[in-house]
């Protein structure tokens, strides 16, 4: 069970790490010669890695691109905030935990994905038939990830809270193993891990995010890097937008490219990318809709004592260069 004491201890540890890392990080002296990206096995960043789109876009600036893979948003944003990365993407919740831990980062763009790209999974023969049946059961999700928000709202729909389940904080690979061996009763997870599990005939979808929570994602940059290199960030966001739009017009090529770069089987990648409402091209600036959504979520998580302090999202929204 993830307790408030554990959460605060984690924030404290991350905060110390960020403060220490911050003393070693400086972008003010010279223009960047390297662009460091954190990516996961999904989305437009994975496609851009496959096609080399960002390498081509930044070549004229004399900038090399390096990539670091993560299994979820929380550790990615910890690295970003500490200055070990310059850019990355995550769901709606990881930026809240990172900002609460004083991460040095800014929001640079948003996306809104399919409403059925995440699910709570159970075993086919499990007695769990409704959300209410999760009471007293072991439910795994990555704390601080988008699945955290999904679980909170799904349980609320059934009149339950996190106190009514045994919540287990597991990374997607660890949760997949625990789910396969029956060590947990249910698992809240996103694509492509969701699609992988869905192909197993012993798996049953209890509920998807549809009608429960919107699937917002955010693109973020290290605060110092964005301040010192605004045109690089603007170029990257523009190129990712173009890459995403290309993906929708060339879906078969996109599926193959993502399968090749992520190692996710072709048939699994096809499931994830052909879900209703899937669109890698929906990158847009942090507008009023995105800001209102994220601020509301931050307020909710503070009121639920999931994050330890009140946040102001607008304070860390990046302003693109005028020219």
Model confidence pLDDT, tens digit, residues 294-320:
999 999 999 999 999 999 999 999 999
Token pair of 69 as six digits: 């893979």
Which residue from 182, 73, 101, 78 is spatially nearest to 137, judged by alpha carbons?
182
Length of the chain: 323
4-114+215-316 matches 118-208 in fold: yes
With residue 137 as reference, give the H or E element that holds it: none
Model confidence pLDDT, tens digit, residues 277-296:
777 657 899 999 999 999 99
- Mean of pLDDT values over 155-160: 97
Token pair of 98 as six digits: 């990172």
3 band by pLDDT with thresholds 50, 70 and 90: very low
Quote the DSSP letter at residue 317.
Answer: B
Exposed/middle/buried for residue 291 (C-beta within 10 Å: 0-12, 13-18, 19+): middle
Q: Where are the alpha helices (DSSP H) in the chain?
A: 4-22, 43-51, 53-59, 73-81, 94-100, 146-157, 172-180, 193-198, 223-228, 230-249, 251-262, 266-273, 288-303
Which pLDDT does position 207 carry in this prediction? 98
Superfamily of domain 118-208: Periplasmic binding protein-like II (3.40.190.10)
**CATH tag, 4-114+215-316:** 3.40.190.10
- Mean of pLDDT values over 60-89: 96
What's the CA gap between 48 and 242, in Å, rounded?
Answer: 10
Model confidence pLDDT, tens digit, residues 21-65:
343 344 444 678 999 999 998 889 999 999 999 999 999 999 999
Which pLDDT does position 323 carry in this prediction? 61
Exposed/middle/buried for residue 266 (C-beta within 10 Å: 0-12, 13-18, 19+): exposed
**Predicted confidence (pLDDT) at residue 18 exceeds the cutoff of 60:** no
- The domain segmentation of the chain, as residue ranges, is 4-114+215-316, 118-208
Mean pLDDT: which of 31-40, 102-111, 190-199 is highest? 102-111
């Amino acid at each position: 069970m993830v307790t408030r004491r554990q959460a605060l201890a984690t924030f404290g540890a991350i905060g110390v790490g960020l403060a220490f890392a911050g003393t070693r990080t400086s972008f003010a002296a010279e223009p960047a010669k390297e662009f460091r990206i954190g990516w996961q096995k999904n989305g437009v960043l994975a496609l851009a890695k496959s096609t080399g789109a960002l390498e081509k876009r930044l070549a004229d600036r004399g900038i090399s691109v390096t990539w670091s893979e993560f299994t979820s948003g929380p550790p990615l944003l910890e690295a970003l905030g500490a200055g070990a990365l310059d850019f990355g993407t995550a769901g709606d919740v990881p930026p809240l935990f990172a900002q609460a831990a004083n991460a040095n980062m800014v929001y640079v763009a948003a996306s809104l994905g399919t409403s059925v790209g995440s699910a709570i999974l159970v075993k086919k023969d499990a007695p769990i038939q409704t959300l209410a049946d999760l009471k007293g059961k072991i439910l795994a999700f990555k704390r601080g990830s988008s699945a955290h928000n999904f679980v909170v709202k799904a349980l609320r729909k059934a009149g339950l809270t996190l106190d009514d389940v045994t919540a287990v904080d597991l990374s997607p690979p660890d949760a997949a193993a625990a789910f396969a061996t029956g060590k947990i009763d249910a698992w809240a997870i996103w694509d492509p891990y969701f699609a992988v599990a869905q192909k197993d005939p012993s798996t049953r979808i209890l509920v998807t995010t549809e009608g429960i929570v919107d699937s917002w994602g955010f693109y973020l940059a290290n605060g110092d890097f964005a301040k010192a290199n605004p045109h690089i960030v603007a170029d990257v966001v523009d190129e990712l937008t173009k890459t995403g739009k290309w993906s929708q017009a060339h879906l078969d090529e996109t599926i193959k490219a993502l399968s090749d770069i992520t190692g996710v089987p072709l048939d699994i990648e096809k499931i994830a990318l052909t879900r209703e409402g899937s669109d890698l091209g929906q990158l847009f600036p942090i507008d009023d809709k995105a800001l209102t959504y994220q601020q509301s979520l931050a307020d909710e998580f503070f009121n639920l004592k999931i994050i330890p302090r009140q946040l102001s999202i607008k304070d860390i929204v990046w302003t693109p260069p005028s020219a």
